[in-house]
Every structure is written in C-alpha cells, then in structure tokens.
Chain A
Amino acid sequence: MRKFTLMVVILLFIGLQGVFAQRTITGTVTSADDGTAIPGVTVVAVGVPGIGTITDLNGKYSLSIPGNVKELQFSFVGMKTEEVEIGAKNSVDIKLATETVKLGEVVVTALGIKRETKALGYSVQDLGGEKLERVENANVLNSLNGKIAGVQITNSSGASGSSAYINIRGQSSIGGDNQPLIVIDGIPIDNSQNYSGNPDQGTNNLTTGVAYSNRAIDINPDDIQDVTVLKGGAATALYGLRAANGVIVITTKKGSSMQGANAYNVSYSTSVSFDKISQMPEEQTKYAQGLNGKWSGPQTGNRNSWGPLIDTMRFTNVGLTPAMDANGDGIYDWDRNGILVGKSDPRVTSSSKKAVAYDNVGDFFKTGTTYNNAVSIGGGTNLSNFYLSLSNLKQDGIVPNNTFQKTTVKISGEAKLTPKFTASGSANYINSGGDRIQQGSNLSGLMLGLVRTPATFDNSNGYSDPVNTPAAYMFPDGEQRSFRGYGIYDNPYWTVNQNKFTDDVNRMIGNFSAVYIPVEWFTATYRLGGDFYSDRRKSYFAIGSSAFTAGQVFEDQHYNRDINSDLILNAKKNLTKDIKLDFTLGNNIFQTYHQQLYVEGDQLSQPDFYQISNAQSIVSRENQSKKRTAAIFGELGLSYQSLVFLNFTGRNEWSTSLPKSKNSFFFPSASLGFVFTELGGLKKSNVLSFGKLRASYAVIANDAPIYGTLNYFAPGFYNDGWTTGISFPFLSTTGYMTDDGLGNSSLKPEKLKSLEFGTDLRFYKNRIMLDVAYYSNRNEDLILWVPLAGSSGYTSTLMNAATMTNKGVEITLTAVPFKKKDWDWTITINFSRNKNEVVALAPGVDNVGLGGFTGAEIRAVVGKPFGSIFGTQWVTDKNGKLVINDDPSDPNYGRPIMSLEEGFLGSVQPDWTSGITNAFRYKNIGFSFLIDIKQGGKMWNGTKGIMDALGTSKETETRGEKTTFSGVKGHLDANGDLQTSGVANNIQTTLDQSWYNGLGGGFGGPSGQFVEDANWIRLREITISYTLGDKFLKKNVKFVKGLDIYFTGKNLWLKTPYTGIDPETNLYGASNAQGIDYFNMPGTKTYTIGLKLKL
C-alpha cells in the first residue's frame, strides 16, 4: 500500500510541469444576485485539459491560454456553470447566477470536502446554523433533535449540564461507543461522557452520582455555520475507524472578505430562557406515613406511606415522648404542627389542626433560568479574514442549586500568503461546568428522597425558603431532618445544600491548516488539530448524608488530549469534455490520551470542611489510556456529464489497540449516483425537475478497546453488590489482584458492512423535494467482553464474537405549499425507521449486559434489538397468559406469580420516529413549529415501582380495591415447575399494602410490570420571530444591519402514555444503556425570548 501511495504522489508532482503559456486572459467574476465578487470560481479552458485557474478573493482571475482556446468555463458550487466564447478579448468579466439547486445543495462531506449533493451516491443531510440559532440549548446536540432523519437524540434529563445521547442509524457496536464522530472544521473532537466516582466501581458509578455532561456541550451553537450529518458507511468511509457510527460535520463561521463599509460584521445575540418542570409521576395525597393503616411517623424511621387516611388525622403536640421532642420545647421535632393522631384521639385539642397532604414536589422545583449572550466580529480584506466570538451561557436549573455555565472564546483567521498558498488557524477556548445534584439509585439522590416522601411529611418544615433555611432540613445539633428520622434517605433540601458536586472544564480546541494550490487542478491541504481539556471535579457529602454517613469528599481530575493530523492531496482533471476525474490521496495520524486521577477521602473529621486532608481514610486511583492510529486513504471520483457519478474510496489503517499481526487493515467503499433526469426525454420535464438514484456499498473497520490484549493486575478491590466494599491500600498495605477481564492477544478489527440505496427527487422546480434512503448494515466480528463462567478465573474475555444488523428507511420530504412575495409556508418531514437485530453474540452467549440494575438491566440479547430491557417477570403459561396463583395457602393467592427466570421485557428502540416542521413567513414575521413523534420503544420506570411499593404513587390511592387478574389459574410446585389447568382465573384479590409491598411493587416484585411504553408526540420547538425590515433599518439606524426578535418554546406540549417523568431521559446518560428511569431528574419545558442584532 505504501509503495502504491508513493507512486501516486510522484505522478501527481510530475503532472505539475505541464504548464505553458501563449496569451493571458483576465477578468472578474461577480454574483448576478448582489454584485459581490466571488472568490474560488474555477476558470478552465474548454477542450484543453490542464489549463485553468481559480478566482482570487476579489473574484479576479488571470489565466494563460494557448492560442487554440475558444471558450472559458466558469464554475462554482451553488452557481450555474457558464461557458463564454472569448474571441479575441483579453478581458472577460462575468456574472454567475445562483443555480436552481440552491445553497445547501453544496454539502461538506468527509474530510471537509465540499460536494454538490447531486454528485453524491449516498445520503447526507445538512442543517444550516440558522436552524439551531433560536433554540438556545446548552447542549447543541439537543438542537438537532427531530430535524434529521435517522438521527436519534436522547437528552438524559432536565438537569442543568446533563448529557445528550446521539445515535445514527442504530447501534453498530456492542461494547464500544455507538455515537457518531463529531468533527469541527476538520478536527475530530472528543465527545466523552466522563463519569466520576471510585474507578473500581466502573459503570456502576452511573447508577448513582450526578448527571454528567457529554463534551459536545462545550460547543458554542452561535459559532456554527452549518451542520452536515454523514450517515452511512460510504459517506464516512474516508474518516476510517472512528466514523463507524456516522459523522457530524460542523463548519464554523468565518470572517467574510469584503471591502469598504462591509469590511466587518458584528453580531450580538442575547436570550433568556425559563425552564419549568415538564412532567412528574403522580403522587397520592390521601394516605399518611405509616404501615398497616396505622401512623408510624418520621421518628420511627419507617419509610412507608401505608398509614391511615389523612382526612381522619389531626395534629397535636400533646403527649410527646422524648424521642419525638429531643429539645424539650413541647413541639414535635419533625413537624411544627405536631404528631398525627386520629381525630377522636384524646390528645386532640381544640387548637388541633387537620392533617394535610403537603405538596413536596410542587414546592420543591423552581423556575430555571438560562441567560445566553454571544457576540462575534468577523471581517477581512482581500488577503485575510478573521472571526472572533465570545459567548456566555449561565443556567440555573429547575432544581435549586443546580447550575451550569459555559464561556467560550473563539478566534479564527485565514490569510492568503501568496496567490497559491493560504494558511488558516483557529483557537477555541471553553470554560464550562457547574454545580450538579445527586441523582439515581443513591440514598442522597434528589428524586429518591423527594418522591418517597410521604404526603404527611413536609420536607420544607414550613419554611418559605427551605433551600436557604438550614432549619428546614437540619436539626440544631446538625443531624439531618428527614422523613425517616435522621437520614437513611436524604431530605431533598439537604441534598441540594449538603452534597455538592462541582465540575470545571477548561478546554482548548485549535487547528492550523495550510492549503496550497500550485495549479488550478491540484490542491494540497494540511491540517493539524488538537483538542485538550482538563475536567476537575470536586464532590462532597456532608457528615450525616445518607449515601456516606461519615462524610466523603473526592477530587476527580480528567485530562484529555487528542491530536489529529491530515494531509490531503486532491487533483481534479477533465479527462474529456464529458468525463471528469477527481482524485484524493491522504494521510491521517491520530493520537488520543486520557488520564484520570481520583482521590477520595472518607470519614470526615471536621464538619463542613471539605478537604482530602480532613478525611480519615483515603483511596486514590490513577488511570491512563492512550491510542494511536495512522492511515493512508484515497478517493477516486469519476463523473460523466451531470449524469453519472461514480466514487471509490479506500483506506488502510493501523491502530495500536490491536495485536501487531492484526493491526493493519484495509476497507473500501463504492458509490454511484445516477441523475436520470439528465437523460434526453426527462430533461425538460416540468413536473420532475431533478431525479437521482444512488447506491453505495462500504466496509468500515473498527479497532479494539484500548489495553484489551493483555492480562493485568489491578489494585485490590472487592464489592459484593450489597455494600461499597473494601479497597487497597488496606491497613496501610498495598495489594493487587488479577483483573476479572481476560485479555485477548488475537483480536482482529470489527467489520461494518453497509449497503445503501436511495433516491433524490425534486418536483415543480424544487417546490417538493423528496429524499428516500434504504440501508442494510451488517456488522461482524464485533468485539465485546464475553461473559465467562467465573470458575475459569475470569468473569469475561474480549472476543470478536458478535454480529448485529441495522436495516432502515429514511424519508425526508420538503414541500413549499405556498410561496408568494409576502407569504410562504414550508413543510419539512423527517421520518426514519431502523430495525436493529443482535444476530449473534458469542458461542453459548445469548445476552450480555450493557448497564443497569439486577433484575432490570439493559442488555444485548440475541434475536432482539440492541438495548433490550431484561429482568424479572411474571410467570406465563405456554400461551403467554399470566398464571394466577391458585394455592389458597399462599399469601399471594389470586395474584400473578413472579418468575425467578429473567427474560426479555421489551426493547428500548423505537419502531419509528418522525419530525415535522411547519414554517410560515408573513412579511417579517416568522412562525414555525416542530412536532416530534416517537413510536414504540420501552422504558423501565423503576421510580414507579418503588413509589408503588412505598405507597406514594397515585395508583396506590385505590388501595384496598378488589380485582380479578386476567389469566389462568396455576401455581409452581415444590420443584419450581409450573402446574396449570388452563382454567381462566376467577379468584378475587385485594390490591393492598401486602400486594404493593410485595409482588406489586418495585421491592420484591418483577421489574417487567414497570416496563412502560415510552411513545410520545411532543411540540419540540415553536418559534415566533420578527425581523426588522431592511428599509426601516436603512432609514433610521444605518449602522444596524439586521435585528431579529424571537420567542421560542421547547417541549411545551407532550403527550405520552409514560407515567413517570418526561420519557426522554436516561439514568446512564450518553451511554449504551438507554431506557433506564430510576429517580432520574425530570425533564423541562422551556420558554425563551431572544434578540439577534447584526451591525
């Protein structure tokens, strides 16, 4: 391969000498639309191969031509190509008109190469930056939601700074990341979700802790000019192994190169957003804290809400025991109104108030605010241009004390050092982070404490500002005031004040690039980029916090450094008048390095002093990972007129993460675009303006996880699933243990084969545009940690074992039903359907875990889609009917039976998704809304299971109602075998405390009953904007070039059968384990008003 590459390089350089001259033509190319000069227009001599140039920044060109040249051809992407007879002239000026296929028809493809969409043999979807501008999401990925077919984005929660998971055309890897590569101006950036917590606990840390960011959150949306999504293998093949899951190509704004009064552009945008909680699980308000219908108050530590009817209870401070009134002031310590007694209890006095159901949830959440300010200056001369931007986002969440802020500075510039040589560079500094709140399966988690709180316990203790009033959540001696006595579950106000998690990211993304165009048909580009960040996190739990009763503090520092280098040589030649050749050859070098230093101090001595030195026990861990890859790649494009476009790519890649003998691998792709409307008969059709068929096939390879080829020892650590466990150093002694994972020295690359067919049809001069893509991907030799029998000495080993397929259809329809001078209406519909199947995992392995809980885990299951909810379920008979216990001696007589076998409970993958945007314009007023539909896909509502068990859910308000479960009578015999007569059940049972506390709840019942449909129809975005007219501005405020005022609403309306919080959520954030809701932070609806000003 290397020899071949060299040969080509030699040939290319040899080609440079064939330049000779006889006569010089000069001229200027301007836009027919606005008269501005167009730089970069290709000017070639028709019929004489090898003669041509491009216009400079002023649209000027100068071309030496042999005497026999009769015509010049001027072409530029997005413009109509013109051929002009030159006759005897020495000067030819020309105006180019915009082509009917408008801007946006030129898309950025792999490696930043610009192509006309009509020339592509694969599907690419493009989104202008203006579509992101008014949405004002802190995390720009969320702004893409619903706008691109085949792209699924899941915002993990409404917590400030939380992550968003993005996936294109289904998952392709079992154990690896399934999110696309994000490339900004040619430089791939890191989009990791780095989580914190003791590294020994691995991904278990994601079930607790806080909502983390994925690093795409650092992008300033205001810097974005354009986003292109490369979906299939043929589109991404040039990027190599990191692009196995698609690529999001982001192009940022540049300074323009205009002269005079327009030499600079200043734009300023400001907005304020208000967040409200969108949806919460419903709570019962009828029953008091207690058990078996009797009040059992906070002082008992009882966690249940199975007490008496609140209506029958009265407050009293008569007859308090010392345990209820520790300070002896005659007032019950946990509620200033007193303890609860029955209304006819002798302790009831004339001043006794009626018991009440406190609105803990309603009182807790607040209106969040986000302030977003961005300013940018762009400008330039004919030789250089620059862009400078500054932005700040400051967010206060709906959860008190939950904040996120982001400040970005970006400077980029470009200089034409000689007519043939252009250098450019950019530097982008980001500082981001905030204060995050504990969530999930975490005794200090916010929602855990909040929705478990009985209706009769007032978390705020009656204070109007409990967030800032310690007496709300703390007794005078510093002990915690919670509904379970002195803790066990944290009072939410304690959580937001006494458990802090702060992250501080400092990031620098920079690049340098040089473009050398020695002759018009040859371009050499070199680009070097780096992405560096440090992410310093500090977390503490006050003494008395439920998760760490003795207090904890940790420092977790992540450092990441990615370096990417690309050399791209491109040659374009017209082989004949009709056949064009486009040849690219390149080299890529990449290195990624990540280091984590974690130091945890437990058992704090001095309260409220959060330094590691204040801890009696210290655990520290250091992790590093490093990988390098190198690649040589080439692309060969051939086109015949505007009719046929044929493209081949090949890439050979080397990766350090594979064993030496397997670390070099080659993968090819081929694509074909056939514009059938160029054929004679169809050319003049008034109905079908443009029609293309396309087909592509690609193989992409993917390497192995870092450090997967050897066996290691790790610092000693044990944990049994019940407790946090033990770790080394232990008793001042260091100790190591063999890693549970068995390395594999014979790993080979994963192979991802993708086949795609599509069509691109435009009707009535682009009034209706339809793009349909069908793809079928088969991913083989997927590497995963294959579970092993523990008796082998290991619990898993890395293997090339799995096969997975994704088949799907994407349809994008854009229609302009109405278009007049003052009015227009555009509809854009995206529809996508992906069917994923895990075809095989490893011999003897029919499922592997991706994350979650015992009894409710997200797994890859053979024969099912990736991301299956797997866990405990009801016993069913062979016809799939519920078996109802017919053993009268069983306490669960008349109720379904829980199976000890775990099984498939549903897939988290949607059947289809669709985004429908309607945009209207009336003069200067714009109105648009985006309806987002997700059909199918399940979610485990673990929150509800626990609320049912504890008696706080609305459902338990009907406690005591009788029901007859539909199913057949039967039972399990002593051997655990099912005995059923098949007779329909007629046994009545009562849905009471014993049901919900047992089988009918999340403590002890099967998790299958809490797997719910997570369909939705939502009004994802609605925007009303007003743009101040040019005439008005020119007349009154000349220095203002544009002013735009808008209102945007997000998620204002949501319709879903899901009974928990907004089902667009995931406890594991941006990871493969999607579909878990266990005390996740609720989602939000947002109202934004903003202003954009251009000077």
Chain B
Amino acid sequence: MLIIMNKLLKINDMKNKFKKIFGLMVLILFISSCNKWIDTDINKDPGRPTDVSLNLILPTVEAGLGYCVGGDLKYDCTLWMQQLSGAANQPLAADRYNVSQGDVDNMWKWGMYAGPMKDMYEMMKKADVEKSPHYKGVAEVLMALSLGYVTDLWGDVPYSDAFQGNGALAPKYDLQQNIYEVTLPALLNSAISNLQAGSSIFSPGTDDFIYGGDLTKWLKAAYALKARYAIHLTEQKGASVYDSALTAITNAFTANGDDLQFNFGANSNENNPLFQFSDQRPGDMVMGKYLVDTLIGLSDPRLPYYVDTTGGATGLAAGEGGTASAFGPFYASPGSPVIFASYVEMLFIKAEAAFGKNDKPTAATAYNDGVKASLAKYGITDAAYIAANASETAGSISLAKIMFQKYLGCFLQIEIYNDWRRTDLPVLTPATKGVLGGQIARRYPYPTSERIYNGKNIPKPTPVPTDHVWWDKN
C-alpha cells in the first residue's frame, strides 16, 4: 500500500506539501479501516465478566432465592392461607383469588427460572468441570428446593430441558409425577453423595451465607427436603411415604440452628422483602384475620413476633380489603430471615408420618416437640401455652392438631399451602368475594411469558386455578 501511495505522490507535484499531507491522510485512513480498527474484541464488554468463579455465584443464588421465596413467590399463597390479607390494590385482588398470568410472570422468570435456578444450573455444570463436588452438592440441594417450589405451585414444569439457552429456547415440560419420582430423588441423592465427597478443589466458605460452608448442615438440609417431598405424596402414595419421610428425618435437622434459612441484612440493598414491602407499599397487605384471631384466641406468645401489635393486633378478613395490623418484627424487619425448611417442619412431618402409621405416642411427642421448637425459635418459654397446646398424648393427638400447629409453626412458608392442599387443614373459609365460585385457588396460573413463548409445550388443556396439581389428588 505504501508503495502505491508513493507512486501516487510522485505522479503529482512533489513540491506541494499539502498534496503530501492529503496523500498521507488517505493512507492513514485507509489503513485504519482495516482490521485493526474494527477489532471484534471491542465488542466485549469490559464492564461485565463472561465467566466468574463459583464463590461469586453462590452468594447471589442464595440471596436471590431468599428474596423471591420470601417475597413475590409466597405472597399469593400466604394470602390464600389467610396468614396475610390483601388490604388494597393488587394484593386485594389476589386475596380474592384473582391472580392473572401476568401477576405471576416476574416470580417465574426473574424470581426463579432465569434467576437463581439458572445460576444453580450453571454452578452444577461448573462444579463438574472444576471437580468441586461440594459446590455441586450445595447447588443440587438448592435446585431441589427451588424445583420443589415451582412444581408445587404450578404442577408440571420444565426441568430436564430447562436453562439451556440456545439448546432449548422452548423447553418441554416435565410431569410433576416424574419430577417427584425421578428428578427430586436423583438431585438429592446426588447432593448427599457430593456433599460427602472426600475431595473437592473448591468448597463453599464465607460465600455461603446460609451455612458458612458447613457441609454437614447442607447434608441435613438434603435429608430434610427428602422428608418434605416424601410427605407431599400422601394423597398419591398413601402410607408408603411415611417410612421414607421418617427415615429421611433421622438425618435431617436436629435443632433450630440447623434451619435452612436466609438472613437478610441491615443495609437497604440487603433488606428482607417483606420488610421492603411494608416500607414501600404500606397498607397494601396486612395480617390475616384467621391467623390473628387464632393467635389471640390461644394467647399465643408468638403473636408479637408475627404481628405488629402497635395499636393492638387486628387481622383483615380474606378478600374484604381495608386496614389491619402490619407484619410483625421477626419476619418483617430489615434483617429478618426467610425460612426455606426448618427443624420445626421436620418435627411436624415426623408427627404426621407417625400418626399416619398409627404410632400415636411418637406423633404426640413429635407434635409437642414441634410446638416447643417453634416457640424456642423466638426464644419464648411459655409454660402455660405449652401446658395447653403442647402437651398432647397418644390419646389426644389428632391430624388436625398436627396440621394446625404446623400452620402456626411454619408461618409464612409456602409449605403450609402444600399441607392445606393435601390435608385441607386447617379448615379455612374461602373469601366471600372470591372469584372462584367459593373455592380457594389450588395452584398458580402459568405465567404469560410461558404461554406466549413456550405455548407449544405448556400443558394442555392449560389448568385453571381450581385444578389440582398431581400430588393434590383430592
């Protein structure tokens, strides 16, 4: 190129320096437009990494799951379970079971699938590549937890085909039965073996907000989920599930300190979602009448932990709208925890399973322990309450009591909605202004984005809110 330009310049009047300058400009500019200027690397964002290490993904997964499960994902079902009540705006509509496909879109796509679940999937893949089974085990426990939430709320959901990006832009749906019979056990079994692996190049540590890298606790959590998913199948599998649940429980949580929960922080970018809701949408959602009246009626010492009792504790009847007490400090303070699975839950599962096997002494003991453990969670010792409500015997224990105290002990957890659908306990009166002909919704509608962009795979006929999920046989 240079030679050509030289020739060019010679042809013309060499004495004219401007001509030279122009010639040079032409040269420089034409060279510039060659590959060096248009360098594809320029199109790689210097502000965002294309890969990060496992210990930078885990914190986001845990916090993201805590935020979604502790917020958007659980609001509708805890309204329906009348622990909370919709006072105004969208929550009031939800309290009347009027939940649209658009209302559940964010929680599905940003809250779960393209959110923490996608990153759990990335962690599982990356942990394999980096020969780090400990990370994989943790990711698998969290994936089993998350997959459980989505299948319990929606029924058939994508998993085996999910998270693949271009590999499957429209993932097929797995039957809930298959998820329960194959996927969840496989995930948890694999987690149990990975968490016990002798060597792991990388292992979680302080990046693990939940257990600080304590793998024995993750192992307990894996068993706790095994117990949970076993007991979910009471209606489908009958008595056979009780032994599975009881076996799993022996390896699950042994104290409140083992609970699988996420603790939020004091800074405003770290705040518990329910706190944020009460702060940023005051008056839209308040305490539910059924729960508050029950706690008052029982003189339940957990009342001031569940309910903001400033100005007296009142609850709002389902679907009526209005005003009532705000959420209590234990669950709606900036740094409040979001509980995914707990020792209390295990004790009540144990009680339910033993009761199902007609082992009433064990059931009664587990029940009493469950109530006591729940109180202990808040540091409460209340002899009178325990005498009245946690002193069951083989003769007095009943399934209704077990499920009722589980309903109180697992406050604000999606699990109470699962229990209610299985056992119809506690007995709740549907909102009179409900839109489902006097019924409480038994599932979330499939979200808009799946209907539009994955229409060919979404189950058909597409279930309506009153349709039961697979394990909710009756």
Asked if residues A737 and B45 are in contact (CB atoms below 8 Å), the reply is: no
How distant is B105 from chain A, measured CB to nearest CB, in Å? 8
Asked if residues B48 and A713 are in contact (CB atoms below 8 Å), the reply is: yes
Contacts of B162 in A (CB 8 A): 791-793
Count chain B residues whose beta carbon lies closer than 8 angstroms to a beta carbon of A: 110
Decide if A1003 is an interface residue (CB 8 Å cutoff): yes
Asked if residues B157 and A723 are in contact (CB atoms below 8 Å), the reply is: no
Q: For window 403-445 of chain B, which residues contact chain A by CB distance below 8 Å? A: 433, 436-437
Contacts of A734 in B (CB 8 A): 56, 59
Given contacts A602-B268, A730-B63, A974-B436, contact A789 B449 (CB under 8 A): yes
Q: A587 to B4: give the CA distance in the assembly, Å.
A: 18
Asked if residues A742 and B166 are in contact (CB atoms below 8 Å), the reply is: yes
Q: A626 to B100: give the CA distance in the assembly, Å.
A: 41
Q: A660 to B35: give the CA distance in the assembly, Å.
A: 10
Decide if A623 is an interface residue (CB 8 Å cutoff): yes
Interface centre among B43, B207, B270, B281 (most CB of A within 10 A): B43
Given contacts A567-B25, A722-B72, contact A716 B106 (CB under 8 A): no
Interface centre among B26, B93, B101, B448 (most CB of A within 10 A): B26
Asked if residues A567 and B26 are in contact (CB atoms below 8 Å), the reply is: yes
Q: How many A-B residue pairs have CB under 8 A?
A: 312
Asked if residues A716 and B107 are in contact (CB atoms below 8 Å), the reply is: no
Scoring A residues 15 to 40 as 1 if CB is less than 8 Å from chain B, else 0, what string do you get?
01100000000000000000000000
Asked if residues B63 and A716 are in contact (CB atoms below 8 Å), the reply is: yes
Asked if residues B447 and A790 are in contact (CB atoms below 8 Å), the reply is: yes
Given contacts A418-B18, A488-B282, A740-B110, contact A844 B449 (CB under 8 A): no
Given contacts A628-B38, A718-B115, A737-B119, contact A550 B268 (CB under 8 A): yes
Q: For window 572-628 of chain A, which residues contact chain B by CB distance below 8 Å? A: 587, 589, 602-603, 616-617, 619, 622-628
How distant is A611 from chain B, measured CB to nearest CB, in Å? 17
Contacts of B165 in A (CB 8 A): 711, 742, 792-794, 797
Given contacts A589-B29, A845-B453, contact A727 B269 (CB under 8 A): yes
Asked if residues B29 and A720 are in contact (CB atoms below 8 Å), the reply is: no
- Give A902's nearest chain B residue, CB to CB: B102
Asked if residues B30 and A589 are in contact (CB atoms below 8 Å), the reply is: no
- Among the 9-residue stretches A44-52, A92-100, A649-657, A1030-1038, the one with 4 or more Cβ atoms under 8 Å from chain B is A649-657
Scoring B residues 33 to 75 as 1 if CB is less than 8 Å from chain A, else 0, what string do you get?
1000111101111111111100011111101100110011001
Q: A737 to B49: give the CA distance in the assembly, Å.
A: 10
Asked if residues A616 and B118 are in contact (CB atoms below 8 Å), the reply is: no
How distant is A809 from chain B, measured CB to nearest CB, in Å? 35
How distant is A19 from chain B, measured CB to nearest CB, in Å? 10
Asked if residues B68 and A790 are in contact (CB atoms below 8 Å), the reply is: no
Asked if residues A663 and B40 are in contact (CB atoms below 8 Å), the reply is: yes
Decide if A681 is an interface residue (CB 8 Å cutoff): no
Contacts of B161 in A (CB 8 A): 791
Interface centre among B33, B107, B110 (most CB of A within 10 A): B33
Decide if B469 is an interface residue (CB 8 Å cutoff): no
Asked if residues B437 and A974 are in contact (CB atoms below 8 Å), the reply is: yes
Asked if residues B33 and A720 are in contact (CB atoms below 8 Å), the reply is: no
Scoring A residues 685 to 713 as 1 if CB is less than 8 Å from chain B, else 0, what string do you get?
00000000000000000000011111111
Decide if A6 is an interface residue (CB 8 Å cutoff): yes
Partner of A616, one of B22, B170, B267: B267
Decide if A437 is an interface residue (CB 8 Å cutoff): no
Decide if A521 is an interface residue (CB 8 Å cutoff): no
Asked if residues B277 and A722 are in contact (CB atoms below 8 Å), the reply is: yes
Contacts of A789 in B (CB 8 A): 109, 158, 169-171, 449-450, 453-454
Contacts of B107 in A (CB 8 A): 720
Q: Is the interface of A mostly helix, strand, loop or mixed?
A: mixed
Scoring A residues 441 to 454 as 1 if CB is less than 8 Å from chain B, else 0, what string do you get?
00100000000000
Q: For window 125-150 of chain B, which residues contact chain A by CB distance below 8 Å? A: none
Contacts of B177 in A (CB 8 A): none
Asked if residues A975 and B464 are in contact (CB atoms below 8 Å), the reply is: yes
Q: For window 444-461 of chain B, which residues contact chain A by CB distance below 8 Å? A: 447-450, 452-455
Asked if residues A794 and B114 are in contact (CB atoms below 8 Å), the reply is: yes
Q: A788 to B449: give the CA distance in the assembly, Å.
A: 7
Q: A587 to B464: give the CA distance in the assembly, Å.
A: 62
Contacts of A707 in B (CB 8 A): 43-45, 48
How distant is B170 from chain A, measured CB to nearest CB, in Å? 6
Asked if residues B38 and A656 are in contact (CB atoms below 8 Å), the reply is: yes
Contacts of B433 in A (CB 8 A): 891
Q: A734 to B63: give the CA distance in the assembly, Å.
A: 11
Partner of B281, one of A627, A656, A723: A723
Asked if residues A630 and B33 are in contact (CB atoms below 8 Å), the reply is: yes
Decide if B92 is an interface residue (CB 8 Å cutoff): yes
Partner of A846, one of B29, B265, B280, B452: B452
Q: Is the interface of B mostly helix, strand, loop or mixed?
A: helix
Contacts of B282 in A (CB 8 A): 301, 488
Asked if residues B281 and A792 are in contact (CB atoms below 8 Å), the reply is: no
Contacts of A663 in B (CB 8 A): 38, 40
Contacts of A712 in B (CB 8 A): 45, 48-50
Q: A706 to B46: give the CA distance in the assembly, Å.
A: 12
- Give B456's nearest chain A residue, CB to CB: A844
Given contacts A526-B22, A713-B50, A731-B265, contact A587 B33 (CB under 8 A): yes
Q: A726 to B271: give the CA distance in the assembly, Å.
A: 7
Asked if residues B60 and A516 are in contact (CB atoms below 8 Å), the reply is: no
Decide if B11 is an interface residue (CB 8 Å cutoff): yes
Asked if residues B449 and A790 are in contact (CB atoms below 8 Å), the reply is: yes
Decide if A976 is an interface residue (CB 8 Å cutoff): yes
Q: For window 636-687 of chain A, which residues contact chain B by CB distance below 8 Å? A: 654-660, 663
Q: A787 to B102: give the CA distance in the assembly, Å.
A: 14
Q: A714 to B162: give the CA distance in the assembly, Å.
A: 21
Asked if residues A720 and B273 are in contact (CB atoms below 8 Å), the reply is: yes
Contacts of B436 in A (CB 8 A): 974
Q: A90 to B211: give the CA distance in the assembly, Å.
A: 100
Asked if residues A301 and B283 are in contact (CB atoms below 8 Å), the reply is: yes
Decide if A327 is an interface residue (CB 8 Å cutoff): no
Decide if A89 is an interface residue (CB 8 Å cutoff): no
Decide if B244 is an interface residue (CB 8 Å cutoff): no
Contacts of A16 in B (CB 8 A): 11-12
Given contacts A720-B106, A720-B107, A790-B114, contact A659 B40 (CB under 8 A): yes
- Give A799's nearest chain B residue, CB to CB: B169
Decide if A5 is an interface residue (CB 8 Å cutoff): yes
Q: A902 to B452: give the CA distance in the assembly, Å.
A: 12
Contacts of B119 in A (CB 8 A): 737-738
Q: For window 82-104 of chain B, which residues contact chain A by CB distance below 8 Å? A: 88-89, 92-93, 98, 100-102
Contacts of A549 in B (CB 8 A): 279
Contacts of B110 in A (CB 8 A): 718-720, 740, 790, 795
Contacts of B186 in A (CB 8 A): none
Q: A520 to B53: give the CA distance in the assembly, Å.
A: 66
Q: A707 to B43: give the CA distance in the assembly, Å.
A: 5
Partner of A14, one of B11, B48, B454: B11
Asked if residues A721 and B72 are in contact (CB atoms below 8 Å), the reply is: yes
Contacts of A616 in B (CB 8 A): 266-268
Can you list 19 pairs linking A and B with CB atoms under 8 Å apart? A565-B29, A587-B26, A632-B30, A710-B45, A716-B63, A720-B72, A722-B273, A724-B280, A726-B270, A731-B265, A736-B49, A736-B57, A736-B60, A742-B166, A789-B170, A790-B112, A792-B114, A792-B163, A900-B101
Residues of B within 8 A of A (CB): 4, 8, 11-12, 16, 18-19, 21-22, 25-26, 29-30, 32-33, 37-40, 42-52, 56-61, 63-64, 67-68, 71-72, 75, 88-89, 92-93, 98, 100-102, 106-115, 117-119, 121-122, 157-158, 161-166, 168-171, 206-207, 209, 264-271, 273, 276-277, 279-283, 433, 436-437, 447-450, 452-455, 464, 466
Besides the contacts A13-B8, A627-B42, A718-B115, what 19 more A-B pairs have beta carbons closer than 8 Å?
A: A16-B12, A589-B33, A602-B268, A628-B37, A629-B38, A656-B39, A657-B43, A713-B56, A718-B64, A722-B72, A726-B67, A726-B270, A730-B265, A740-B109, A790-B109, A790-B112, A794-B114, A844-B453, A974-B436
| Pairs of residues from A and B, 4 with the lowest C-beta to C-beta distance, nearest first | A790-B109, A617-B267, A789-B454, A716-B60
